[in-house]
Structure 1
Amino acid sequence: MNKQEFDRLLEKYADVVVKVGLNLRSDQSLSIRGIIEDAPFIRKVAESAYKAGARYVDVLWDDENIKRIRLQYADPETLTSLPEWLLHRYEEYYKRGDAELAFHSLNPDLYNGIDSDRIAITRKTLSQKIGEPLRKYSNHSNWCVVSTATPAWAKKVFPDLPVEEAQEKLWEAIFSACRINTPDPVQAWKEHIQKLDKYKDYLNHKKYTSLRYKAPGTDLTIGLPEDHVWGGAQESFTNGITGTVNLPTEEVFTLPHKDRVDGIVTATLPLNNQGVLMEEFSIRFENGRAVNSSAKKGETDLRKLIETDENAGRLGEVALVPNSSPISQSGILFYNTLFDENASSHLALGNAYKTSMQGGADMTDDEFTSRGGNKSLIHVDFMIGSAEMDIDGIKQDGSREPVMRKGEWAFNV
């Protein structure tokens, strides 16, 4: 595409982020987290945000190569260090009810060759010092996660193309997945959200006690807490704003019961977790806990991820995505969970969202876990869906109903 057309699509993308993803209010400030390669699009978002009446747009820049350099050369004892101002910065925005936009565009091979112990230390430190303290604010403010076609990521997705061509092709895929190339992207998103709401409402009405998954390499039963709530597309925050937290999104999701997951599940797509790639892996669960895991690539990293804390080896999310989703049908392996999770039904290791349980947002951690919710430092999605997956919903009387057949919805809404 020519530069003029690209700039037009980039502006439409920025407007979707501000109007659909964040649903930014005119009196809000906006905190943005991104790497320096995201800069051209971040400037477009800032422009759109100020046009929408934003009070202030503040960008916290990062450099993924500096992250790798630190892991290579820093004294291991310093890897648990983070500046105190970083936490205070986040708290300031959350306490004030301002908006946050995060970019997820990292190089999938960023940490190739880096010692897995160093990676595990930094991952746990971020979760403890930034992630965990701020979970209490996660429903206070409108937030959204998006991506840009950075050079390293584009080259991973399209390795046979020169970098510039790979970036253009990845941008085209992002625009398509986020409905930017439609005549009216904002209206297209409204219609898509209404469609996802119908599936969410159907599942909430059913109140299944568990889900049974069957596919090659997968035979898994996931119990659901009595008061589970299916969500999808949009989330409402205590600051009074409703937004779409992931762009793109094709899922409906809820939380599993932390003690009622049994069987084996095999991933159908690679998992890129903070620059570490894990491929062709399986996990076996007993009474909710991962008791065994194996992987063709990244097995040690997978094991360390599961061992992050005492509950990292339990599940915190179950999400359903039809195989016919536009991202799946694109045939592109993105090596980016934000996109790949919307091509495939998936699960998440670790923390469960309190908003996935009736009244959960007002519960203490002890109350939440006593009802079946999981609390952990991590929340890592991995993809398990395919055109060969069948899912049954099990009712209170033990009878079963088809929820998905061959990767597609088995009911009409």
Structure 2
Amino acid sequence: MSISNFQDKLKKYAELIVKVGANVQKDQTVIIYVSVTQQELAHLIVEEAYKLGASDVIVKWNDDFVNRQFLAHASQERLENIPDYIVAEGNYLVDKKAARITIVSSDPDAFVGLDQNRIATYQAAHGKALRPLMRATANNELAWTFAGAADQAWAEKVFPELKGQEAIDRLWEEIFKTTRMNEADPIQAWDDHDRTIHAKADWLNKEQFSALHYTSPITDLTIGLPKNHLWTGASAVTDENIAFMPNMPTEEVFTAPDCRRINGHIRSTKPLSYAGSVLEGMEFTFKDGKIIKATAEKGQDILEHLIATDEGSLSLGEAALVPDPSPISQSGITFFETLFDENASNHLAIGASYPFSLQNGTNMSDEELAEAGMNVSQTHVDFMVGSADMNIDGIKEDGTIVPIFRNGDWA
């Protein structure tokens, strides 16, 4: 696309992120997490947020090089102890009910070759220190959104046959396509898409299945569902009734499993970009809700660190349904970025449940959530399991079986 056409689309994309993604309100604090390479998009988002009346727009720049140097060289004490100013900032954002905008663009291989013990130590400490902010986000007390932006290293990973600007342009094309930027009215297109996904969630909520049974040539897994679980998808609503779009793109409806009732085996169907590395060919065996065996064809040590994060990282916190005919799946592109790849495939998440996936869950303590079968953890990592030959059945309390998916699509 021409430079002028690209800049026009980027401006509209920033508007979509601010208006539909975060739905920034008058006098609201906004925080943007974005790479130093994405200054143009960041500036457009800042401008749009202030136009909508934001009181304060904070930009938190990140840099893969700086992050890698920190993880490689920081003292063990620093990795284990998050400074007070970072904790205070997290608490400040909760107090202000800040809208959080995260722009995803990192190199999937940014931390390849680093000591995984150091990365895991830092992630665990960081997750613990920012627990109040993570909890407020998971409870939808704050509006939050994730969207993508094309960086060279990421673009060349997705399209290895292309280099430099050609790869970046190609990735931007796909980002714009998957976020409905090519529609005549992207905001209206998102409104229509939101209604479609909510209709699926409404049907599943009405059915209130006791369990889901996943089968394919490489999977046979039964996942229990808590009583009074809630399926959600596309837009969410804060406790102050402000609608926002957590993920752009999105094709999923999801809920929380009963983390005590998961049995069987399942294999991943797409690579997972996690902790600056790519994991492939993951297989999990579950018994009574716990992972009793976990293997990966690539990234075994990283997988072992992930499931050792805490007690909750040995179970699941999310079960999401995505039809194989979804646009991202049909593109045939592996993005090596969960925001996109999870919307091409049914997926599960190791770690924490979202409290809003249970009636009244956002008002419950961690102990009450656990008692209801919800998983409590510092981590939440999605991995893709769907395929064109996967079937999923809903099992009712009385044993009645209702087809949900057949051959990768809604039954």
Is the TM value for this pair above 0.5? Answer: yes
1:206 Cα deviation (Å)? 0.5
CA contact (8 A) 1:106 1:274 kept: no
Specify the alignment match of 2:50 in structure 1.
50
CA contact (8 A) 1:110 1:276 kept: yes
Map 1:19-38 onto structure 2 (within 5 A).
19-38=19-38
TM-score (ref. length: structure 2):
0.98
CA contact (8 A) 1:393 1:400 kept: yes
1:223 Cα deviation (Å)? 0.2
SS in 1 for 2:7: helix
Specify the alignment match of 1:325 in structure 2.
326
SS in 2 for 1:118: helix
1:397 Cα deviation (Å)? 1.0
Specify the alignment match of 1:222 in structure 2.
223
SS in 2 for 1:342: helix
Specify the alignment match of 1:394 in structure 2.
395
Specify the alignment match of 1:134 in structure 2.
133
Structure 1 residues 19, 37: closer, same or farther in 2, change over 3 A?
A: same
1:90 Cα deviation (Å)? 2.4
Specify the alignment match of 1:298 in structure 2.
299
| 1:404 corresponds to 2:396 | no
Percent identity between matched residues is 42
SS in 2 for 1:269: coil
| 1:182 corresponds to 2:198 | no
Specify the alignment match of 2:122 in structure 1.
122
1:36 Cα deviation (Å)? 0.7
CA contact (8 A) 1:28 1:54 kept: yes
Aligned length: 409
Q: Deviations along 1:132-161, whole A, 9 cap, x unmatched?
A: 232332222111111110111111101111
CA distance in 1 between counterparts of 2:172 and 2:84 reads 36
CA contact (8 A) 1:200 1:231 kept: yes
CA contact (8 A) 1:95 1:137 kept: no
Q: Match for 2:244: what amino acid?
A: G
CA distance in 2 between counterparts of 1:258 and 1:326 reads 31
Map 1:278-357 onto structure 2 (within 5 A).
278-357=279-358
1:269 Cα deviation (Å)? 0.3
CA distance in 2 between counterparts of 1:251 and 1:353 reads 15
1:23 Cα deviation (Å)? 1.2
CA distance in 2 between counterparts of 1:208 and 1:397 reads 10
SS in 1 for 2:281: strand
CA distance in 2 between counterparts of 1:40 and 1:384 reads 36
1:331 Cα deviation (Å)? 1.1
Q: Match for 1:26: what amino acid?
A: K
CA contact (8 A) 1:256 1:315 kept: yes
CA distance in 1 between counterparts of 2:242 and 2:143 reads 6
Specify the alignment match of 1:170 in structure 2.
171
CA contact (8 A) 2:90 2:132 kept: no
Please say which of residues 19-28 and 281-290 is displaced more in the overlay: 19-28
CA contact (8 A) 1:262 1:287 kept: yes
CA contact (8 A) 2:99 2:143 kept: yes
Q: Deviations along 1:380-399, whole A, 9 cap, x unmatched?
A: 00000010100000011102
SS in 2 for 1:341: helix
Specify the alignment match of 2:39 in structure 1.
39
1:15 Cα deviation (Å)? 1.1
CA contact (8 A) 1:270 1:277 kept: yes
Q: Deviations along 1:164-187, whole A, 9 cap, x unmatched?
A: 100000000000000011110000
CA distance in 2 between counterparts of 1:198 and 1:306 reads 34
Q: Deviations along 1:48-89, whole A, 9 cap, x unmatched?
A: 112222222110112111111122223333312322112222
SS in 2 for 1:188: helix
CA distance in 2 between counterparts of 1:27 and 1:224 reads 40
Q: Stretches of 4+ moved more than 3 A in 1?
A: none
Specify the alignment match of 1:234 in structure 2.
235
User: Runs of 5+ in structure 2 lacking a partner?
Assistant: none
